[in-house]
Amino acid sequence: MSKTDANTGASLMHEEKKEVASPWPGPKGMIPVTSGQADDANLHNRAYLDSILVEMRIIDAVKPNLTTEIFGKKYSSPLTLAALSHLNKVLPDKSRKPMQEKVAAAKKMDVLNWIGMESDEDYREMVKDAGDTIRIVKPFADHERIIKELQLAEKLGAVAVGMDIDHVPGENGDYDVVDGLPLGALTFADLRRYVKATKLPFVAKGILSVRDATKARDAGASAIVVSHHHGRIPFGVPPLKILPEIKKALKGSKMTIFVDGSLMSGYDAYKALALGADAVLIGRGILWELLKDGQAGTEAKIEKLNEELSQMMLYTGIPDTKSFDSSVLHFE
């Protein structure tokens, strides 16, 4: 994928790396842009997803039921809306609040919604009329801030809380700083402490190895998101590629396994579910529609994704979301 220097064999990737013009509104860096270079893990997600083909099992197949149980509660679909923070700051039209529009769309469509980094004040505002929410807190260097945010989410009725543990490093190789707030290292003991700080199920978001998955399990997490957070790690292995190994390692643990990463259609979601995810997160797959047409656009996109998922389940004889079967998949 990357070009090499004819003399030295070195990758020309970095020399070629040009600033990619952002297609998104808002200040630079607020919505991530994929570079399309060899180290861009999004590129590898897409290539892996597109290399998986599906056989047909139509005889005796019936229209599927998409109802899905997550943390003991029923939802209309295994699709959930990923945490997409800071969107209220990106549109020129300041009267619009995409974060609230997303919350409203999730509620109307009866799907679970994730909320990421927001101030306590904004979070309160967002969940005022919300449906079910999973609150994800950053791995701040200030551990007391983490505990406070987790406990506020519990008080405000979140169905689960968690941490995007994949957001420790910044691009300069140091701990990242977000909105002026320093992030820090995360130890197993820290994770254990955060799990114990709440009565809610705890989700470790950003698991990309069997090693971290079993550590999250041993720390008491109820769930993981197999993810690299839209390609934070250069050359990140596609979450779907590593999902089956992780699933196997967690067998018997009763943990809920979510997955995300470039799932842009119901067909992509189907592949993730067939590979063993209990539910999937859709982030950038609803982002255009959300920013352009708000709640209505997001609802229409969720509908479309559900239709594609249903179509694929019907073609492959999967009657409900408990019956996915990886043996329908073929890897090119």
Ligand X SMILES: Cc1cc2nc3c(=O)[nH]c(=O)nc-3n(C[C@H](O)[C@H](O)[C@H](O)COP(=O)(O)O)c2cc1C
Number of residues that bind ligand X (CB under 6 A): 23
In the bound state with ligand X, the residue whose beta carbon lies nearer, of 260 and 289, is: 260
Q: Is 82 in the site for ligand X (CB under 6 A)?
A: yes
Minimum Å distance from CB 261 to ligand X?
5
Q: Please, what is the minimum distance in Å from the beta carbon of residue 229 to ligand X?
A: 5
Task: Note whether 205 binds ligand X by CB under 6 A.
Answer: yes
Q: Binding of ligand X at residue 243 (CB under 6 A)?
A: no
31 binds ligand X (CB under 6 A): yes
Query: Among the candidate windows 5-13, 184-192, 227-235, 296-304, which touches ligand X by CB under 6 A?
Result: 227-235
- Exposed/middle/buried for 210, CB within 10 Å: 0-12, 13-18, 19+? middle
Residue selected from 84, 127, 146, 165 as contacting ligand X according to rule CB under 6 A: 84
Distances (CA, A) of 191 to 117, 257, 268: 18, 18, 31
Residue 40 CB, nearest approach to ligand X (Å): 12
| Closer residue to ligand X (CB): 57 or 148 | 148
Q: How far is the CB of 33 from ligand X (least distance, A)?
A: 10
Q: Which stretch binds ligand X (CB under 6 A): 58-66, 181-189, 222-230, 249-257?
A: 222-230
Q: How far is the CB of 331 from ligand X (least distance, A)?
A: 21
Residue (269 or 274) nearer to ligand X, CB = 269
Q: How many CB atoms lie within 10 A of CB 143?
A: 15
Q: Would you call 330 helix, strand, or coil by DSSP?
A: strand
In the chain, where does DSSP find H-type helix? 13-16, 41-50, 98-109, 120-127, 143-155, 188-196, 210-218, 239-249, 266-274, 284-315
CA distance 196 to 192: 6
Does 283 sit near ligand X (CB under 6 A)? yes
Residue 164 near ligand X by CB under 6 A? yes
Q: How far is the CB of 105 from ligand X (least distance, A)?
A: 15
Binder of ligand X out of 11, 12, 25, 32 (CB under 6 A) = 32
Q: Which phi and psi angles does 188 have, rounded to 5°? A: -60, -40
Q: Which is nearer to ligand X, 237 or 314 (CB)?
A: 237
Q: Which of 41, 279, 282, 290 binds ligand X (CB under 6 A)?
A: 282
Tell me the C-alpha distance between 65 and 322, whole Å.
10
Does 207 participate in binding ligand X (rule CB under 6 A)?
no
C-alpha 83/C-alpha 114 separation (Å) is: 5
User: Tell me, what amino acid is at 30?
Assistant: M
Separation CA 95–CA 141 (nearest Å): 34
Judged by CB under 6 A, the residue of 88, 100, 198, 262 near ligand X is 262
Phi, psi of 281 (to 5 degrees): -105, 135
CA distance 239 to 225: 9
Binding status of residue 85 toward ligand X by CB under 6 A: yes
Of 78-86, 148-156, 303-311, 322-330, the segment contacting ligand X by CB under 6 A is 78-86
Part in contact with ligand X (CB under 6 A); list of ranges 70-78, 93-101, 169-177, 257-265? 257-265
Which residue has tokens 């934070």? Answer: 232
Quote the CA–CA distance of 173 and 270 in Å, as a whole number.
36
Round to whole Å and give the CA distance between 146 and 32. 24
User: 98: Cβ–Cβ under 8 A, 6 or more apart, which residues?
Assistant: 87, 88, 90, 91, 290, 291, 294
Footprint of ligand X (CB under 6 A):
31-32, 82-85, 116-117, 136, 164, 205, 227, 229-230, 260-263, 281-285
